[in-house]
Structure 1
Amino acid sequence: MSSIVKIGIIGAGAIGNAHMGAFQKLEGAQVAAITDVFLPHAEQRAQEHNIPLVHQSPQALLEDPDIDAVVVAVPNKFHAPLAIEALRQGKHVLLEKPMSIDSETARRIVEAKEQSGKILMMAHQMRWEGLSRALKGEIEEGKLGRIYNAKAGWFRKKGIPGWGSWFTRMDESGGGPLIDIGVHMLDLTLYMMGNPKPVSVFGTTYAEFGPKKAGIGSWGTPNWDGYYDVEDLATALIKFDNGATLSLEVSWAAHAAGLSEDPFIYLMGTDAGASIVGSTGKTVTHENNIIIESTLAPLEGDARQLMSEHFVACIQEGKEPITTALSGYTNNRILDAIYESSKTGNEVKLNWD
């Protein structure tokens, strides 16, 4: 492999387009090829970003010997087959969230990654936001002490995407807001907590808006001849092997009076606490029996740009990314457990043996 990492993009939609823009700004990478199930869309993106080659299919791109790494930015049900085939073809992979539509297919991705010896990185750009990096720095310096409780979530009041399309079909998406935006908050919180091992989950999901074609948002293209069989709100309590707990709440649509629609994370530690709500970060501690609250300043840098740089650096230096294949698998296991708990009404124990 040359010093320039040649990237192939699978998926010419909005997310794929964001990746194209980020990688084109890097000196150590070149977006060398693109493909999409709708080839005219790929051809349009190729013109916009000066991408030299449009492949006729994902398989053709994956078999291209000049491509070093691929970005998989397609609907959820295609994540596992494309990531696994990419790894078998000797490509490094930047995989959009969620890792897969369920933990079983996510496990197969992990196995393929281990067998290939290639890099597989999850594209969780929220870890790279300025406030996230600033807060992680505070945690690594020990300022929060031991984090024993966390609360995270994202309430959208009227934001169901693409009603009737793959977004709202369980067999194509793997779920609703829980696997769509909830996985972002789950991943970020686990990262902040030091990636403790989840041991039990209790959760409930609801579908009060989607089946009535209510709560529709602006993202995605509706298919009114389609169907809706996912949740539009989920809530869960996750327990970890170190005794810590995480409360997770997410919605695409909800009568959430008084609640912000900004994503949020609250961390409670033995020495201090911290929060990120939208673009605002804060820390709190007690000094001389007085509550001291401070503003957390974000670090500089574009999140997606930094994430792309990290992916390229991992390939060039042969190092594991901070968003590993195991982190993606762990997220999927927790999500599966929440759905199972909602169906059975029981707590779900997670066995990691």
Structure 2
Amino acid sequence: MNTNAYLDIGVVGLGTHGLHRAEILQEFGQQVYGSDASPDARQNFERRFGDDHFETPTALFEQGLDAVVITTPNKFHAPVATEAMKRGIDVFIEKPLANTLENARQIATVAEETDRICMVGYQSRFLNVCKILKWYIDRDYFGTIRHVQSAYMRRRGVPGRGSWYTSKEISGGGALIDIGIHVIDLLLYFLDESDVDDIMSTTRSDFGGRDSYAYLDMWGEDDDTQMFDVEDSVSAFLEFEDDTTATVEVAWAVNAETTHTYHIHGTEAGARLDITDVLNATADVHQSLQLFEARTGGADHYLDSSVTTNRNDPYKEQIETFIDAVATDEPPSINTVEQALAVQRIIDRIYDDN
């Protein structure tokens, strides 16, 4: 990290995610400002970070910021990000890029026109185990990757029924655009940002509206089950331009084990990546990578190995990357607006398919 970087960075949206990002910024020695329409949210911010907070993004942007981190509900990503970039402010947008493909394209267009840094918060790419798997892929360890089996499923993990997460108008969708978007992002990361030729998919909403829903793994408050017009699970089959295929299983709620895994099927070797994380202590947190081979030396045999590495905090690493990019005026090569737009296109195609 550029240890000499001392920047003025705003955070728009002072909920759980915004306060967490503000803590990281402060830990890295940055001056943090905040903005939120809620007086309670601004009060919470003031108790932890001081009184440099404002009711509107516009008032925040008038403070001469170097950059802004946007952690608002998805619907507001586009207006906040585009205003900031037009004012010459670099932006970091918490995933997804936007609530709709149209708004995502608008952000990408303004980023290009203003030549501002626009980074998007897909933190999984920064996990050590994901970086190691990508290293093996880039060196053709697996041969030709034929198929990837991916799943991100919570046993009971709707993020607050009746919140903006369960409103299609505000969020843009449900489980797919909330957690499934991480799966699509990692698939593109592992498969060199390949284009998708064909998609078959099904979306469902089986659990979110139930009065008998078991409140176990949610971090948000359980509120109004009537404001739930989004999907809580998705199954998809993707065929890429190079004939690689992938299955995607995503669920906020399912009668199965909580999991976030990727199985790589290559012509020379395979892998199982497990990055399962949960919203509370109902299950273990995993960061593991296993490699699988079959060899003939001496006698035919299987060779299974486990990768050992340090666990790291991907949220800190992505913010550190953003700070470096702003300080040096060098756009990052990872989590770019173009990569995020590619993810959004696939999400949009899955929704259009249903």
Give the SS at the match of 2:209.
helix
Aligned equivalents of 1:76, 1:310: Cα separation in 2: 22
Aligned equivalents of 2:138, 2:39: Cα separation in 1: 46
Partner of 1:292: 303
Counterpart contact for 1:7–1:71, Cα < 8 Å = yes
Give the SS at the match of 1:255.
coil
201-210 or 269-278, which deviates more? 269-278
- Measured against aligned partners, the alpha-carbon deviations of 1:280-309 in whole angstroms (never above 9, x if no partner) come to 211111211422111122345321111111
Give the SS at the match of 1:311.
helix
* Percent of paired sites with the same residue: 31
| Residue 238 in structure 1 maps to residue 262 in structure 2 | no
Matches for 1:170-319 after TM superposition, within 5 Å: 170-213=168-211, 214-216=213-215, 217-224=217-224, 226-256=226-256, 260-277=257-274, 278=276, 279=286, 280-288=288-296, 289-299=300-310, 301-319=312-330
- The count of aligned residue pairs is 334
CA shift in 2, pair 1:235/1:31, >3 Å: farther
Partner of 2:281: none
Counterpart contact for 2:5–2:323, Cα < 8 Å = no
Q: 2:353 aligns with which of 341, 345, 349?
A: 341
Partner of 2:101: 103
TM superposition shift of 1:75: 0.9
For normalisation by structure 2, the TM-score amounts to 0.89
Amino acid at match of 2:130: S
Aligned equivalents of 2:196, 2:16: Cα separation in 1: 33
Give the SS at the match of 2:309.
coil
TM superposition shift of 1:187: 0.8
Partner of 1:53: 52
TM superposition shift of 1:5: 2.2
Amino acid at match of 1:234: V
Counterpart contact for 1:8–1:71, Cα < 8 Å = yes
Amino acid at match of 1:21: E
Partner of 2:78: 80
Unaligned runs of 5+ in 2: 277-285
Give the SS at the match of 1:154.
strand
- Measured against aligned partners, the alpha-carbon deviations of 1:132-169 in whole angstroms (never above 9, x if no partner) come to 12222222333223323111121112122211221111
CA shift in 2, pair 1:195/1:295, >3 Å: same
Partner of 1:35: 35
CA shift in 2, pair 1:167/1:26, >3 Å: same
Amino acid at match of 1:310: T
TM superposition shift of 1:319: 2.7
Aligned equivalents of 1:297, 1:202: Cα separation in 2: 36
Counterpart contact for 2:161–2:225, Cα < 8 Å = no
For normalisation by structure 1, the TM-score amounts to 0.89
TM superposition shift of 1:43: 2.9
Partner of 1:329: 341
Aligned equivalents of 2:353, 2:324: Cα separation in 1: 40
Partner of 2:28: 26
